[in-house]
C-alpha cells in the first residue's frame, strides 16, 4: 500500500503546500467582474421594462429575504439596483477584493439572475456559480497562525479545483446527453437548427444543409465536450485545447446567436491557466512586436 500512501501525500501537498496560481486566479476574477459590468449595462433597459410585468414573491425565511433584498429592490426601483450594482463592480476593478467583497459579488450575480429570470439562460447560472467559488479565491495573504494559514491555503486551492470541476461537468453532462440522443448521433440536430428562426443567424443560409457535414459537426461537438474533461489536465495539450474551445464557442456566438453563453464559457477557460502560461503567452507575443 506504499503507492496509496504516496498518492495521498501528493494530493495533500497539492492542496496544502501553497496558494496555486494566484496571478491567474486574480485575472480570472477580474474578467468575471468586467463581464458582469457589461452584462448589467446591456440588460438594464430590458429589466426596466420587464419589471413592470414581472413581480417577485418574497421568500418566507428571514435569511432568504435578506439575501434576495437586492432583487426586490430591483422589482420596485430597477434603476437604483443597477446603479448600485454597477458602482459595486466598478469598485472591484480597482480595489483589492477580499472574501467579504467577493461574497457581495456572488450575491449581486445571484440576484441579477433572479431579476432577469424570465430571460435568463445557462450563462447566468455559470456566472453566479463561478462567483460562489471566487469567494475563497480572494487574494491570498500571510497569516501569523500556521493553522489559519493552512486552512486558508486549503480553501483557496479547493475552490480553484471545484471551479474547474464545474466547467468540466458542464462539458461532461452536455457531451453525454448528446451521445445518448439519436438526433445528435445522426446529425439531425444541426439540420433542425436552421429552422429555429429566433436562434439561427440568417447570415449563414444553408450551412447545415449537407447531411454528411451535419454528422461531422455533431460528432466533433460530442468528442470535443467529452475529451475536454480528460485532456484539460494534460499540461502539453491544455493551451491548444483551450484555443480550440475558444473557436468552438465563437462559432456558437456567431452562428447560433448565443453571445452570453459563449463569452462566459470562454472567460471560464481562464480558471485553467497557470501563472506560467501567462509568461509563456508573453514570450509568444513579444517576438511578434519586435
Domain boundary among 115, 140, 165: 140
My answer on whether 175 and 289 are in the same domain is: yes
Residue 62 lies in a domain: yes
My answer on whether 286 and 157 are in the same domain is: yes
For residue 112, what are the contacts with CB-CB under 8 A and spacing of at least 6?
36, 39, 40, 85, 124, 127, 128
The pLDDT tens digits of the residues spanning 190-213 come to 888 777 766 777 766 777 777 888
My answer on whether 166 and 230 are in the same domain is: yes
Nearest to 129 by CA among 145, 112, 109, 111: 109
Residue 42 lies in a domain: yes
3-state SS assignment for residue 235: coil
Q: State the pTM of this model.
A: 0.88
What average pLDDT does the structure give for the chain? 85
My answer on whether 102 and 67 are in the same domain is: yes
What is the reported pLDDT for 215?
87
Our count of domains for the chain comes to 2
Distance CA 231, CA 226 (A): 9
My answer on whether 45 and 180 are in the same domain is: no
My answer on whether 102 and 242 are in the same domain is: no
My answer on whether 181 and 92 are in the same domain is: no
Residue 88 lies in a domain: yes
What is the reported pLDDT for 173?
94
Pull the grid cell for residue 155. Answer: 480553501
**pLDDT(228) > 80:** yes
The pLDDT tens digits of the residues spanning 69-127 come to 998 888 888 899 999 999 999 999 998 888 999 999 999 999 999 888 777 778 899 99
The pLDDT tens digits of the residues spanning 26-79 come to 999 999 999 999 999 999 998 888 877 777 777 888 888 889 899 888 888 889
My answer on whether 131 and 155 are in the same domain is: no
Alpha helices in 17-139 (DSSP H): 22-50, 62-67, 69-76, 78-92, 99-115, 122-133
Residue 3 lies in a domain: no
My answer on whether 177 and 284 are in the same domain is: yes
Domain boundary among 108, 140, 172: 140
Domain boundary among 140, 167, 188: 140
Residue 74 lies in a domain: yes
My answer on whether 149 and 277 are in the same domain is: yes
My answer on whether 33 and 127 are in the same domain is: yes
The range of the structural domain enclosing residue 83 comes to: 19-140
My answer on whether 135 and 151 are in the same domain is: no
Amino acid at each position: 500500500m506504499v503507492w496509496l500512501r504516496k498518492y495521498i501525500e501528493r494530493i495533500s501537498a497539492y492542496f496544502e503546500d501553497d496558494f496555486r496560481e494566484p496571478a491567474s486566479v486574480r485575472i480570472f476574477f477580474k474578467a468575471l467582474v468586467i463581464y458582469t459590468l457589461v452584462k448589467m449595462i446591456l440588460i438594464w433597459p430590458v429589466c426596466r421594462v420587464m419589471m413592470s410585468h414581472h413581480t417577485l414573491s418574497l421568500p418566507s425565511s428571514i435569511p432568504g429575504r435578506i439575501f434576495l433584498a437586492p432583487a426586490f429592490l430591483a422589482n420596485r426601483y430597477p434603476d437604483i439596483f443597477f446603479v448600485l450594482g454597477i458602482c459595486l463592480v466598478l469598485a472591484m476593478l480597482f480595489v483589492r477584493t477580499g472574501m467579504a467583497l467577493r461574497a457581495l459579488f456572488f450575491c449581486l450575480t445571484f440576484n441579477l439572475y433572479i431579476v432577469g429570470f424570465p430571460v435568463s439562460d445557462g450563462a447566468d447560472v455559470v456566472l453566479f456559480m463561478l462567483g460562489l467559488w471566487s469567494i475563497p479565491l480572494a487574494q491570498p495573504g500571510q497569516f501569523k497562525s500556521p493553522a489559519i494559514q493552512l486552512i486558508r491555503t486549503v480553501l483557496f486551492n479547493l475552490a480553484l479545483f471545484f471551479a474547474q470541476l464545474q466547467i468540466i461537468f458542464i462539458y461532461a453532462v452536455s457531451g453525454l446527453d448528446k451521445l445518448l440522443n439519436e438526433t445528435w448521433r445522426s446529425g439531425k440536430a444541426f439540420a433542425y437548427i436552421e429552422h429555429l428562426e429566433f436562434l439561427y443567424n440568417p447570415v449563414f443560409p444553408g450551412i447545415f444543409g449537407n447531411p454528411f457535414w451535419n454528422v461531422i459537426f455533431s460528432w466533433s461537438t460530442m468528442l470535443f465536450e467529452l475529451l475536454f474533461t480528460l485532456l484539460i489536465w494534460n499540461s502539453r495539450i491544455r493551451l491548444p485545447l483551450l484555443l480550440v474551445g475558444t473557436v468552438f464557442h465563437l462559432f456558437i456566438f456567431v452562428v447560433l446567436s448565443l453571445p452570453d453563453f459563449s463569452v462566459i464559457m470562454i472567460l471560464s477557460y481562464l480558471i485553467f491557466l497557470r501563472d506560467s502560461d501567462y509568461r509563456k503567452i508573453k514570450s509568444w507575443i513579444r517576438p511578434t512586436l519586435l
